[in-house]
Amino acid sequence: MIKVCKFGGTSMASGMTMLRIKEILDADIARRYVVVSAPGKRFSTDAKVTDLLLESYRSLVETGLCGAAFGKVRERFLGIVCELGIDFDMTALLDETQREIEREHSEEFTASRGEYLAARLTAAYLKAPFVDARDVIRFDAEGKLQAAKSYLLLADVLRGNKRAVIAGFYGADEAGRVHTFSRGGSDITGAIVARAVGADLYENWTDVSGFMVCDPRIVENPARIRTLSYKELRELSYMGAGVLHSESIFPVREADIPIRIKNTFRPDDPGTDILPTSKCRFGDQVITGIAGKKNFTVIFVEKSLMNLEIGFVRKILSVFERHHISIEHIPTGIDTVSFVIDSTQLHRGEMNEMLREIGEAVRPDHMHTFSDVAVIAIVGHGMSRNIGTSARLFGAIARAGVNVRMIDQGSSELNIIVGVDNENYERTLRAVYDEFFRY
């Protein structure tokens, strides 16, 4: 039995939390391969080491020196070594890292050093070999992960090691240039390691006891989700459920390796299991989770007999492509089509420019945009088996006095997406939660 354990930033935040990591690992010999994040926050106003490193990089660009922010990184790591009481020359490693940051002059390299230092320190603490992700996680020159290559490199290095500590979040291209995943990317590293060693389980240790049905900052004391399918997870995490990076399922899904979300601070809590759909037990549950995000813009285009015009949608999409805008949803009618985009992608004035280009490309009868839209996804395989789910959903939203601006149902009947005004976001989430979970 092999388990890969990834520990997140809060689990790595201090010597005290690292003691818990050791207890967790010692409690189960199957927990062999350990992936670590950089130290995160110890309390709500604390800084994450990765943010301090990014600040160091900005200072390096502006002043030629890593500055005060790197001083804080030093303090964090020296504090952890001191709390753990281990014999490890952290000062020498920090000095060398600072010199490398100054020499490499790269944002991604600088950001990656939190995981590098954390993994070096954890390996010394656990008396286990350290594996530098630079040697085993491979990206191409464009920064795209080369998964198959990485599995081979990892399997090769880890074979024969009873235990090893691997730095999360980064890797390198063939030329040795360091690349990072997007923020929270150590989750992806953990999944890649699990796939490479053919793990029986990928345990992702964090500071919550798994996924909740809904954001607990909005819905009071929501129910926990015991099992989720990979597909449901992807929908929920993409739509803002922040427990796990939305790309982490891809490596493990191919090999049916389950992911278990566990709480470092309550290790006996069962957590949430993420499994292939065929292995999930849904019971009579209609929906599994609700997630959402604010601040979308909808572009609505209308043209009579649009359906007969071959290439209509493609012409519009090529306008977005030229502007490097990615589309979240495309609800369509017979003579209408809407494009939902994340407003943070738009530069000032870009919308007018795009509307002009769309106008030229397809000569619509009418076009308008509305912004400040929140998008809410109601996710669950149970929807396809339960007639009347959408009636209950829209009934609940109507009773809450909220106007629905947009509806999109994924073709797999796994989700229903509704768009509402930003100001109605919280109210809608509560109404939907109450309808399906508070009987």
Binding residues for ligand ASP, per CB under 6 A?
9, 37-38, 48, 50, 114, 168-169, 183-187
Angle, to 10 degrees, between the axis of helix 312-322 and the axis of helix 350-362?
150
Closer CB to ligand ASP, 189 or 389, in the complex = 189
For residues 361 and 317, the answer to whether their CB atoms sit within 8 Å is no
Q: Could you tell me the smallest distance in angstroms from the CB atom of residue 24 to ligand ASP? A: 18
In the block, residue with structure tokens 């149902």: 409
**Distance in angstroms (rounded) separating the CA atoms of residues 34 and 3:** 9
Q: Could you tell me the smallest distance in angstroms from the CB atom of residue 52 to ligand ASP? A: 10
Closer CB to ligand ASP, 204 or 338, in the complex = 204
SS3 content of the chain, % helix, strand, coil (to 5): 40, 20, 35
Q: Could you tell me the smallest distance in angstroms from the CB atom of residue 108 to ligand ASP? A: 12
**Distance in angstroms (rounded) separating the CA atoms of residues 183 and 303:** 41
**Distance in angstroms (rounded) separating the CA atoms of residues 99 and 115:** 17
Q: Could you tell me the smallest distance in angstroms from the CB atom of residue 114 to ligand ASP? A: 5
Q: Could you tell me the smallest distance in angstroms from the CB atom of residue 49 to ligand ASP? A: 7
Closer CB to ligand ASP, 187 or 435, in the complex = 187
Closer CB to ligand ASP, 168 or 419, in the complex = 168
Alpha helix ranges (H) inside 9-106: 15-26, 49-63, 67-84, 90-104
Q: Could you tell me the smallest distance in angstroms from the CB atom of residue 386 to ligand ASP? A: 36
**Distance in angstroms (rounded) separating the CA atoms of residues 418 and 409:** 9
Closer CB to ligand ASP, 185 or 364, in the complex = 185
Based on its alpha-carbon atoms, the radius of gyration of the chain, rounded to whole angstroms, reads 24
User: Which one-letter amino acid corresponds to residue 244?
Assistant: L
Q: Could you tell me the smallest distance in angstroms from the CB atom of residue 364 to ligand ASP? A: 41
Closer CB to ligand ASP, 185 or 380, in the complex = 185
**Distance in angstroms (rounded) separating the CA atoms of residues 261 and 268:** 12
Closer CB to ligand ASP, 48 or 74, in the complex = 48
φ and ψ of 340, to 5 deg = -105, 125
